[in-house]
Amino acid sequence: MGVHPRRAASSCRRLLVLVAALPACMSYGPPMRSPGYGAPGRIRQGQLELGGAVAHPGYPGSGGPFIGYGVRDWASVEVGADFSFRQWALGYLGGRFTYAPNRDRKLHGALDGELGVGGGAGGRFFCPEHPCADARGWTERAALGGYAGGGAGYHFSFFALYARGRLQATAAEGLPSTLFGTLHGGMQFRIARHVDIFASGGLFGLHNREGGAVNPYWDVGLSVYFDVVRRKQQPGARLPFRMSF
């Protein structure tokens, strides 16, 4: 008995959508921090940053809010949350270390590194047989993990080009310990005096004892930052780009 061409094509399209949206048929712990950060060198000492971003992995996506504070021009602390619908709910705490010696110039480069830990609940348990031996839902799986990464960027007055990479390791109850990796590049725009938007694309991969998968990655985010501790204006500091209509 033959297969109708339209049905076969429809099945292939559904399969491609599933492959693009999810890792392979495997169990895995959740990533602690899904979205990237944008271009390095965004905040300085005494500034508070309020931001948020969404990203793929996760179905239909993942992400959440974050808060950062510049302890020094070269060091800041960050706290945030990461969510994916019916998959995970996590919180993280980390530090960001920036090298940008010429950031007062309109044209300048910047590097940063990040390190953090997180925890919460979530993960995906793949069970090909029913009933499953482990019937716990994602909210019943405690998860812990950490991340380390870095970025490089170049600022052209009101916009920047950048690239980022991050490695993560997680462990969740009843799930295999999982390694995640992301590599992506993008652009960041200053749309107001202390408001930046960023977007990037690249690759996302995961690996554990059940196998591995590599999928497309993207993220989109917004950052608002302002002084909470008064500091002296540096001579020759670059003025922000102001859009007019």
The answer to whether residue 166 sits within a structural domain is yes
pLDDT score for 245: 34
The answer to whether residue 141 sits within a structural domain is yes
Q: Tens of pLDDT along 173-220?
A: 999 999 999 999 999 999 998 999 999 999 999 999 999 999 999 999
Q: Tens of pLDDT along 118-132?
A: 999 999 888 777 777
3-state class (DSSP) for residue 172: strand
Q: Give the residue from 168, 72, 56 showing the smallest Cα distance to 116.
A: 168
The answer to whether residue 177 sits within a structural domain is yes
The answer to whether residue 234 sits within a structural domain is no
The answer to whether residue 245 sits within a structural domain is no
In degrees and rounded to multiples of 5, residue 225 shows phi and psi of -140, 150
What is the rounded CA–CA span in Å between residue 150 and residue 112? 5
Bridge partners of residue 139, in order along the sequence: none
Grade residue 14 by pLDDT with cuts at 50, 70 and 90.
very low
Q: Which residue range(s) make up the domain with 190?
A: 26-227
In degrees and rounded to multiples of 5, residue 86 shows phi and psi of 55, 30
Task: Check residues 234 and 104 and name the one with the higher pLDDT.
Answer: 104
The answer to whether residue 15 sits within a structural domain is no
CATH of the domain at 100: 2.40.160.20
Q: Tens of pLDDT along 2-11?
A: 444 454 444 4
The answer to whether residue 117 sits within a structural domain is yes
| Number of domains forming the structure of the chain | 1
Instruction: Decide: 230 and 218 in contact? Cβ < 8 Å.
Output: no
The answer to whether residue 173 sits within a structural domain is yes
DSSP character string of 37-79 = --SS----TTEEEEEEEEEESSSS-EEEEEEEEEEETTEEEEE
